[in-house]
Amino acid sequence: MVVMGRIIGPFGVSGWIKVFPYTEYVDGLLDYPVWWLGKGNGEWHEVKVTGCEVHGSTLTAALESYADRTAAMRLKGKQIAVPRSQLPSLSKSGKDGYYWSDLIGLEVINLRDEELGKVTGLLETGANDVLQVQSPMEGEKERLIPFVSQVIVKVDLKACRITVDWGMDY
């Protein structure tokens, strides 16, 4: 499964939900008539999407079997995924690609081999994407690292590591 978004909460009184998509384009989830919902622990259940609309940078969606606000409220915080086999191929000219969800949880180190933390999410800013990196040290703030070629040296999915040209004090 590839996580494609998360449910922010209910939307209205008729069972609709508000969704924060992790897709490149806000409407990327509209291509999938069936979503899988779960907490990220490997337990997923399938739901049919009966309606979906774009609202700015979020989506609103109606799901089969969720007909009121109370039912929709129970979905808050759940992740939305689709089977990897349903996603388009990422291979371009022989190079392997990756989805945003592939980057979440990867360790981030800099060129001095200093551990900056783990990727907890990504942001789309318009100019470029940004890695949200949580430091392993308690009390340290989240680092926001631009996902651009000048900063990202290497993404190694097999080693679960991203190497960046980024200082500890940035």
In a domain, 92, yes or no: no
Q: What is the pLDDT of residues 102-118, one digit of tens each?
A: 888 899 999 999 999 99
Q: What is the pLDDT of residue 95?
A: 54
Q: What is the pLDDT of residues 69-106, one digit of tens each?
A: 999 999 999 999 999 888 887 765 445 677 777 888 89
User: How many domains would you assign to the chain?
Assistant: 2
Instruction: Report the distance separating Cα 13 and Cα 66, nearest Å.
Output: 11
Q: How many residues does the chain have?
A: 170
* Pairing verdict, β 161-164 and 107-110: parallel
> For 12, phi and psi rounded to 5 degrees?
80, -165
Final residue belonging to a domain, choices 53, 86, 119 = 86
Q: What is the pLDDT of residue 16?
A: 96
Cα 155 → chain centroid: 17
Which structural domain, as residue segments, surrounds residue 74? 2-86
User: What average pLDDT score do residues 8-31 get?
Assistant: 91
pTM metric for this prediction: 0.67
The 8-class DSSP code of residue 65 comes to T
